[in-house]
Structure 1
Amino acid sequence: MTVSMRAGYQGTGPGPITPDGCAVELYARLPVGDEPDIVAGAVPKGARLLELGCGAGRMTHPLVERGFAVTAVDESQDMLDRVRGARTVRSAIEALDLGERFDVVMLASFLVHAGDPDVRRGLLRTCVRHLAEGGCVLFQREGEDWHERVPRERVDPAGFTVRLVSAEPVGDGVNSVRARYVFPDATWTQTFLSRPLTREQFEGALAEAGLRVDRYLTEDRTWVRAVAGPGPGEAGER
């Protein structure tokens, strides 16, 4: 399948590659970690949940199994074809307008670190547009030293190796990040653009969108629960 890659994004390896460099076969293989437990511990049981950027359903499936009514959104039909048990919608996140509101909106996979600030603003507007009164938005952030500890690698208990090969500045506070996933029978790479955000910059971006941090859900502050309302001020990068 031929796709038009976004500038600065690239992926290699067997199977379809999405416009942002994600390999569908790779994402279908990646095991779920503790993320569904983090989500389940932060929101009401059985909540209506809008998952933005669901990929091949790595988190979707365990959330459905936990009783959440999930609407899963992705721009790649190849990804959505792997999703089971959830309502699926094919759309770019920034353009999504379902005319509905959800108890929980989830923007995981570090998407809030989009290199283009206008794209990030579009993502956050979509979150707010679909948020029910009294609901919350769950974000997954990069670790605060994630771009500094490179190269590094992690051997997953499932038997594959994840290597963060490089994070090279390309201007305007954005890095080009290259990752490699090595399985016994296949290797995939992904290159993408990412904007490191300090805690203050992240909270400032949320405030600009009309959101505020309710609480950080993990000790490393990579998972965040946000709600509608004024933030801590206008600090941070715009």
Structure 2
Amino acid sequence: MDIDKAHVALRFAQAGLSYSEHAVVQKQIALHLAGLMAKHLPSHEFSEVLEIGCGSGNLTDQLLEQFRIKKLLLNDLYAEVQQHFSALSNSSTQIDWLIGDIEQVALPKALNLVASCSALQWLTDFNALTAKVHNSLSEDGYFCFSSFGPQNLIEIKTLTGQGLNYFSAAQIVDILVGNQFEILHLSEQRYHLDFTHPKQVLQHLKATGVTATGSGYRWTKYSLQKFYQEYQQFSEKDEAGHLQYALTYHPIYCIARRKP
């Protein structure tokens, strides 16, 4: 599907205050990604780091906690995101901002590390961005990220036809290798959130800005009731006999090193 970046920015800006509370899976993904980085990167000290799509700071907090970074450049689509980072003024790390579409803005040279969590699925051209990152990294610099795979929010796509076109892990490897990266780690997970009614699924997605995947989709009373009814196929009873409605997240994690 075509991605309207202005619409994506608007939806995430509108969800800004509710995102931190409801993005429970994204927090777990950030924690897991940071742990993988700590395990696989030979050094925990970096002169200059870029984070793509910093959002409300889930990965940012982990980067500053687990690594010693002299300068951290934070990117996101919209300037309002900076409201989540007021506490960083006390950090010993120099914090700079690169607001705008990461596919369009110029990147500094000689970055030691480019990191991103739950953001790269919004790219129009992941291959072009990978080449851009390669050109901006120092020799033996690292590209570490999580993105989402084909089973992500599969329940929503099945019922509405709305959703992003996600790359598989194999496709991500092909793109990275084709752009002169060495894969140090690649893994996948499945997270399942349970809700007591399909309406709560939609409320959760709205609170985390994910409704940006359906910019042209309009709910009617009929389509909403149809959605609730058809979501029964994704329900199971818990131990108490109550129906639980599942929503799937499918993160893919990658730790890659730039080849000279």
State the TM-score, normalizing by the size of structure 1: 0.62
2:40 matched residue in structure 1: 42
Relative CO higher for 1 or 2, CA cutoff 8 Å, sep ≥ 6?
2
Give 1:59 shift. 1.5
Any conservation in 1 of the 2:131–2:179 contact (CA below 8 Å)? yes
Match of 2:73 in 1: 71
2: CA distance, partners of 1:103 / 1:115 = 22
Change (3 A) 1:80 1:121: farther
Mark the runs of 5 or more structure 1 residues left unpaired by the alignment. 1-5, 12-17, 151-165, 178-193, 231-238
1:200 to 170, 181, 184: 170
* CA-to-aligned-CA distance 1:145-198 (integer Å, 9 cap, x gap): 3354x2xxxxxxxxxxxxxxx01599xxxx633xxxxxxxxxxxxxxxx22222
SS in 2 for 1:59: helix
Report the Cα offset of residue 80 of structure 1. Answer: 2.2
| Percent of aligned pairs with the same amino acid | 16
- Specify the alignment match of 1:133 in structure 2: 139
- Once residues 39 and 102 of structure 1 are traced to their aligned partners in structure 2, the CA distance between those partners, rounded to angstroms, is 16
Offset at residue 136 of structure 1 (A): 1.3
Higher helix fraction: Structure 1 or Structure 2?
2
CA distance in 2, matches of 1:57, 1:104: 17
Q: Please give the alpha-carbon distance, in whole angstroms, between the structure 2 residues aligned to 1:50 and 1:95.
A: 15
* Secondary structure in structure 2 of the residue aligned to 1:222: strand
Change (3 A) 1:218 1:95: same
For the residue of structure 2 that corresponds to 1:49, the secondary structure is strand
Per the alignment, residue 83 of structure 2 pairs with 81
Partner residue, 2:238: none
2:30 corresponds to 1:26: no
The answer (yes or no) to whether the contact 1:42–1:217 under 8 Å persists in 2 is no
Distance 2:18 2:82 in 1: 14
Contact 1:51/1:107 (CA < 8 Å) preserved in 2? yes
Distance 1:7 1:88, change over 3 A: closer
Q: Is the 8 A contact 2:183 2:256 kept in 1?
A: yes
Give the alignment's Cα RMSD to 1 decimal: 3.2
Task: State how many pairs are aligned.
Answer: 180
Question: What SS is found at the alignment partner of 1:62?
Answer: helix
Per residue, is there more strand in 1 or in 2?
A: 1
Pairwise mapping of residues 152-171 of structure 1 onto structure 2 (< 5 A)?
166-167=156-157
Structure 1 partner of 2:61: 61
Is the alpha carbon distance of 1:10 and 1:87 closer, same or farther for their aligned partners in structure 2, counting shifts above 3 Å? closer
The secondary structure found in structure 1 opposite 2:148 is coil
